[in-house]
Structure 1
Amino acid sequence: MYTTASLIFKTLADAGITHAFVNWGNDHPAFLEELERERVESGKTAVEIVTCPHEMVALSAAQGYAQVTGKPAAVIVHVDVGTQGLAGAVHNVDRGHTPVLIYAGAAPQAADKRIKGAKNEWPMWLQDVPDQPAIVRQYMRYTAQIQSGRNAGRMVMRALQIATSEPKGPVYLWARRETSEEEIDPSIAKETLSIEKWPAVDGSALSAPALKQIVDALLEAQFPLIITAHSGRNPKTVPLLAELSSLLAIGVYTSCPSAVCIPWTHPHYIGTSYGGKNELLDHADLLILLDVDIPWVDTKGNKPRDDAQVFVIDSDPLKTTFGWSHVDADLLCKADAEVALSQLIAAVEGPELKTRAASKLSAREARLQQIRSDWVASQESAEQVKSLAADGTTPTVPFLLASLRNIVAAQTPSQGENVLWVNEAISNYPLTWAYLRPEVPGSVLQSGGSSLGYCLGASVGAYLGGIVSDKKYDLIAAIVGDGTFLFGIPASAYWLANRNNTPFLTIVLNNGGWASPRYSMLGVYPDGLGSTASGEQLSVGFGPEAPDYSQVAVAAGGAWGKRVEKVEELHAVLQEAVRVVLEEKRCAVVDCIIESI
């Protein structure tokens, strides 16, 4: 017997989806029955099922999987309550432009026993809400109801086609239980829809006039600067941006980055910020904003020079899903970063153009070398000299992260090159980029959004994605704050890691609470009454009674865990944690006490 559920699973498999991250409920009898039919008939299921005890962990895992593989993942949840359980991960896959197909069942409409799948359990009346997809609609690229098994496959294909076209993102399909239970003819169930006939939209190019205008400006500028954040979500753009920067001595600055956009050691990579003051804006006479959501924060005193030309290259240059976003720009280009960078490189590689810009390039190069040297020197000073925080006992974050980077490099076969960092350090984001110093395209994952709780589930999904895409990571390491750790639903996440044999290292930067709300208060009331109050007084602190976070992972998933409170303990504990993950193949969590908020 074949049902709508049969066709949904088959279509997902035909489309190349290998994993579904699921949280089952009373709307899924047809799916569970179909999976067993597949096991009986062929010994395995068409799509591998990853059981997730919490929906947010499921969607975060799917995001990590999709980010590593570059292919969409599927998530299956339970009616309205399961949709709500996806929580802030919905925001993350939207803002992170991650293609994920979410399917949710819906309560049966009928209460008639003559209809297969009709209401037969008391929660189904409570779960029958007026507009279930409204819960997530504003975050989705596409929402649709599957109303018949006969066209379920085509609905899935359309959803995936939209999810994988720029701007990429999540899609949401849903169906009443009667629909998922609908029996369909075997000829329909066995029909194959070719994914080749449902391609994503090709990335768009710069128009000829726009290309000429940008090239001319690049050749004439005294100090051109590219500001980017997300171009590296497509790893193919990283060498292209590096090449263009080298060809024309263009500085590269990352603003609120979510991916490696240029190798840390590139001589023209000259700064990063998460909303602070960008002094380089006072000098740049040409700005290219490449796949960046927040190029600067105006209220921090950031403003381009009045005579600066500003060109925007982005898959959504107007940021149409933001309530407000604007920069004064001379040119807005809706273009794919990989395509646009390739065009620019081809346009400036000729000897005639290089000769035209030769006099400027040497001056630009010298200036970039000095800026780069000063920037790196300031980082190395903090890393090498300031090992102790002001309390005289705990390590500083720069010292901790630099120690971690060096230990991971020493203990991994690739000397740290084939390590995936899953980063949700939030208030310590700038320091993670400064001291982890990633080189390899795709070697850092972030949610791309601002909802906390992504990192733990994403690490599990990234591990599975690494297997599917044959990445063969030496190590996956997650960097979180203590607040972020709790948001990640660690009991579910470490159970999931243990169940699926996906060991990863977790470093908890434990400052005793939520630093970000306190920083937000200080941004508005720098000298207010709360400026001298402790985290506990401000109700953003977790206090000394906070749990040993490492032991949460031990209890939930058989992990190895250790708390570090003194700088002299740090090195040995980090070494042992890395060894446990590499040799014992189980999760390790180091709860690092840093200076309290």
Structure 2
Amino acid sequence: MVYTTSSLFLKALSLGGVTHVFTNWGSDHPGLLEDLQRQRQIGETSPRVITCPNEMVALSAAQGYAQATGMPAAVIVHVDVGTQALAGAIHNVDRGRAPVLIYAGASPFTSRNEMKGSRNEWIMWLQDIPDQTAIVRQYMRFTAQINSGKNIVQLVKRALQIATSDPKGPVYLWARREVMEEEVSMTLYESLSMKHTVTLSPAALSPVDTIAITNALLTSLNPLIITSHLGRNPHAVSSLLTLSTLLAIPVFCTCPSTVNVPSSHPYFLGVTYIPSGPASDPFKEDLKSADTIIVLESDIPWIPTICAPQEDAQIFIIDSGDPLKTSMSFGTWDAALHRGVEMICRADPETAIGQVVEFVRESIQTSPTQLEAVTTEIRDRIAERARKILKAHEKRIARLDAEESYTASEKSTNITVPHLMRTLREVTAPISSKSLIINEAISNYGLVWEHARPEHPGSFLTSGGSALGYALGAAVGAVLGDGVGDARKYDLVTAIVGDGSYMFGVPSSAFWIARRYETPFLTLVLNNGGWKSPKLSMLRVYPQGHGSNSLSGEQLSVGFSFTPTATSASESTLADRISPNYAEISVAATDGWAWGTRISLSASVLDPVKTLRDTLAEAVRVVTEEKRCAVIECLLDAL
């Protein structure tokens, strides 16, 4: 039996808790392929290999797996070109703080058969670059070269330890082919062991910081909590709700990546991506009136050019990993966001909030001392604030309900996102506590968030970054991770994507993987005819410019649909125009296994509400009962 460094590497991954490795093979992986086949002859491989015909899909699937399970995944790619093909997913796993170990081989360093694995293919000269790690280094938590199999356990363990400690994120290992082909003894292989990886313990606030934050909240007239990613630790959500309820503090989620507050919580006032949308105006008002603001796990709590707190507001920032945002090249928290930042703390939010809650409870207990009048005043203030926030919450719910209604007399005959999300909620109500939505709707990010009304931590995810093409692969990874580690058992995973992000997600590859590994999920493609976000960005800079008079996305060069005849683009509807058949792409990629359809609420539809409900219900049935992927292309108003 021949064992190599590749054998040791795979075993080290398994010992380190990696259960799935998403692979895209190349000429640098003979030893890995050989050892996996050796494993198959005696049973299943460990880790489990998921073959991915596209590297970005592979890394997106690994991210979805890590987000759903809380456990690290691994990705294996081919030399420099495979590393580059990871594309925008590298950005997403960095910004999304997803623990992923990436391994890439490298061209052999010998060329005359001096060692096993020496160069024997022409591409090995072309693929040898001076600094392969430089391609991804600025996104990685740790990078290292494997130089020998003899210390590979230590290297893999260190990489996984860093990947799974705050700020969690990707790590990158690489090795020359000769190193991975080096033969090792059976004794070394069989003796390989790894103790449980010890990650950094959650950091706490100092006593001084705890008192300062607590006193600020107790004396505040209009406190506000802003968070984006606190729900990445589901246990932190209950701590946040306790503090919010105890002191009647409203909570806004800006640019979130997960469920931080249940949508029904009376002090939750909404999700905002800030520049526009119905939720943005209340946020701007509350931000402007707040005198004390707690920023928890947020990269972008507000945008200074659009809205900002009052000059004398007290700002307290708590972040578990990178409170100074050192991975962002320009600006500092106090100068770029607000000069009133008083405190920046590196602390685990669950731990930090728990400390504040404990101190608050001690401070407002009824006491027969001279402080009784003060505590009574604080309690009265909290009660009055609670009534005010509850009214704001009820107003928000009423707004959402109104936006979700549908009447046949409406000008648009196409689907609206609010009505679509309401129908999805109704259809999936029996399994709502066991469903996951992955949101990559981009220009409709906020609408999907608000109208999905997610309740449960871990039931709603985004990439946490800005590179498009995440959702389809992430859905595959989430289904693969179902029930593993901390993952909830999902009855349904739904990817909601724009037509642009659908194409970026390489559907031909993503759905092939879903078919090959039987990972069924529902996909809703929100088709508005192209890239709406670039158009919106242009209008924010040139609201009255030439582009504001464009007749279509096609004319502006951001459209995916076009008019095939002399018909005026301004007079045609999206249904009349030529565009990719998004649903049929998935059907073709799976040789007919996936189910797909296109739907609009056109005038020819006798009962649009029933038609939409029946179509969604059938798609959900296909996924949950037949265990097949289902794709619905939903025609929205053209951009």
User: Which whole-Å deviations, capped at 9, do the CAs of 1:165-209 have from their partners, x for residues lacking one?
Assistant: 11110000000000000111223222344342x311111111110
The partner residue of 1:536 within 534, 554, 563 is 554
* Contact 1:387 1:395 survives alignment (8 Å): no
Secondary structure at 2:457 match in 1: coil
Gaps of 5+ in 2: 367-371, 562-576, 603-607
Residue of 379, 383, 390 corresponding to 1:369: 390
Which has the higher mean CA deviation after the structures are superposed, 480-489 or 1-10? Answer: 1-10
Would the aligned equivalents of 1:141 and 1:163 in 2 still touch at CA under 8 Å?
Answer: yes
Partner deviation per Cα, 1:450-495 (whole Å, 9 max, x = no partner): 0000000000000011142463211001100000000000000000
Q: Distance in 1 between matches of 2:596 and 2:328?
A: 41
Equivalent position of 1:578 in the other structure? 620
Residue 346 of structure 1 and its aligned partner are, at CA, apart by: 1.9
Divergent runs of 4+, >6 A: 386-389
| 1:258-407 → structure 2 map (5 Å cutoff) | 258-276=257-275, 277=280, 278-300=284-306, 302-315=307-320, 316-325=322-331, 326=333, 327=337, 328=339, 329-350=341-362, 352-353=364-365, 356=375, 357-385=378-406, 390=411, 392-407=412-427
**1:439 is aligned to 2:455:** yes
Aligned to 1:23: 24
Q: Does 1:502 align with 2:519?
A: yes
In structure 2, the partner of 1:418 is 434
3-state secondary structure, aligned to 1:345:
helix
Residue equivalent to 1:596: 638
Distance (Å, rounded) in 1 between the aligned partners of 2:361 and 2:40: 57
Answer whether contact 1:139 1:170 (CA < 8 A) is retained.
Answer: yes
Question: CA RMSD for the aligned pairs?
Answer: 1.4
Please give the alpha-carbon distance, in whole angstroms, between the structure 1 residues aligned to 2:195 and 2:103.
19
Q: TM-score, normalised by structure 1?
A: 0.96
Distance 2:350 2:73 in 1: 23
Match of 1:38 in 2: 39
Task: Classify the secondary structure of the residue corresponding to 1:466.
Answer: coil
Q: How many residues are aligned here?
A: 589
Give 3-state SS (helix, strand or coil) of 1:417's partner: helix
Matches within 5 A, 1:470-481: 471-481=488-498
For 1:379 and 1:324, the matched residues in 2 are separated by: 37
1:547 equivalent in structure 2: 580
Q: Quick check: 1:231 aligned with 2:273?
A: no
Contact 1:386 1:396 survives alignment (8 Å): no
- Post-superposition Cα deviations, 1:287-313, rounded to whole Å, max 9, x if no partner, equal 00000000111111x111122110000
Other-structure match for 2:211: 212
Check whether the contact 2:599–2:635 (CA below 8 A) recurs between aligned residues.
yes
Give the Cα–Cα distance (whole angstroms) in 1 for the partners of residues 535 and 168 of structure 2: 34
Q: Secondary structure at the match of 2:518?
A: coil
C-alpha displacement of 1:386: 6.2
The C-alpha deviation readout for 1:219-246, integer Å capped at 9, x for no partner, is: 1111110000000011111111111111
CA distance in 1, matches of 2:356, 2:545: 50
Distance (whole Å) between structure 1 residues aligned to residue 108 and residue 55 of structure 2: 21
Moved more, 337-346 or 4-13: 337-346
Once residues 140 and 247 of structure 1 are traced to their aligned partners in structure 2, the CA distance between those partners, rounded to angstroms, is 39
Conserved 8 A contact 1:111-1:119: yes
The question of whether the paired residues in 2 share the 8 Å contact of 1:387 and 1:396 is answered with no
2:473 to 457, 461, 476: 457
Q: Which amino acid aligns with 2:316?
A: F
The separation in 2 between residues aligned to 1:245 and 1:584, in whole angstroms, is: 43
Distance across 1 between alignment mates of 2:408 and 2:169? 41
Question: In the alignment, which residue of structure 2 is the partner of 1:560?
Answer: 595
Instruction: Report the residue type matching 1:555 in the other structure.
Output: A
The match for 1:515 is 532
Shift of 1:389: 6.4
Code of the aligned partner of 1:246: T
| Percent identity for Structure 1 against Structure 2 | 53
- Cross-structure match for 1:2: 3
Asked if 2 retains the 8 angstrom alpha-carbon contact of 1:61 and 1:459, the reply is yes
Tell me, yes or no, if the aligned pair for 1:386 and 1:399 is still in contact at 8 Å: no
Give the secondary structure class of the aligned counterpart of 1:143. strand
CA distance in structure 1 between the aligned counterparts of 2:63 and 2:167, rounded to whole angstroms = 15
Q: Partners of 2:330 and 2:548 in 1: how far apart?
A: 30
Q: Deviations over 1:413-456 (max 9, x none)?
A: x3x11100011111111101111000001101110000000000
Q: Who is 1:121 aligned against? A: 121
What is the 5 A alignment of 1:135-284? 135-196=135-196, 198-276=197-275, 277=280, 278-284=284-290
